[in-house]
Copies of this chain bind each other. A is one copy, B any other.
């Protein structure tokens, strides 16, 4: 018979899932920089050539920031998860499947920054990441399925709200692209910056151990 503690932690551990996730995030973040290429044979006008890269460079920064926001979020939510099951693994894999698309949609927007369709696809990619993260958290916390019983309902709700707010703001930015892609790009940059700042949920981190 298993003891109380064992029953809580038995099942497939979350370690390898986090390891796969960290690998995929590391790879996707590094791939972004591959799009920054200097054409050879511009010795004379190197300053201008480099200066001409600034939109690509900005988009690199934004995508790195966005992926970082989701990595921090995934880290923060996963922190409360005590075990995993097959559905949870698959929700994570769905999440990673859309994370992996970011270098592709980043390239697309980098090549066509004035095209509403390209800008909208980027935003849809980001919101797909948000949604798959939301479902993970909702599934793991529903009836405390995969989290400790001591996790307050309040923390669970805050975690959901935090994702949904970003989702709604990005949705607005996506629709805005139909009228003004440049404005969408500015919103795409501002929204993740807001997520850098500490939130109420952080205070709960200190009560649980990894």
User: Which secondary structure dominates chain A's binding surface?
Assistant: helix
Instruction: Name which of A30, A34, A207 has the most chain B CB atoms within 10 A of its CB.
Output: A30
Q: Return chain B residues, CB-CB under 8 Å to A79.
A: 12-13
CB distance from A173 to the nearest CB of B (A): 19
Instruction: Name which of A11, A16, A17 has the most chain B CB atoms within 10 A of its CB.
Output: A16
Whether B75 pairs with A12 at a CB distance below 8 angstroms is yes
Give the total of A residues in contact with B, Cβ under 8 Å. 74
A90 within 8 A of B: yes
For the complex, give the distance between the alpha carbons of A50 and B111 in Å.
13
Whether A20 pairs with B20 at a CB distance below 8 angstroms is no
* CB contact list, A169-210 vs B, under 8 A: 196-199, 202, 205-210
A108 within 8 A of B: yes
Binary contact readout A25-44 vs B (1 if CB under 8 angstroms, 0 otherwise): 11111111110111010010
For the complex, give the distance between the alpha carbons of A87 and B207 in Å.
18
Q: Return chain B residues, CB-CB under 8 Å to A121.
A: 50
Whether A20 pairs with B10 at a CB distance below 8 angstroms is no
With A31-B34, A33-B101, A85-B205 given, can you name 13 additional A-B contacts, CB distance below 8 Å?
A: A6-B209, A9-B209, A10-B205, A11-B206, A12-B210, A20-B71, A24-B29, A26-B26, A27-B30, A30-B103, A33-B103, A47-B117, A61-B97
* CB contact list, A53-71 vs B, under 8 A: 61, 64, 68, 71
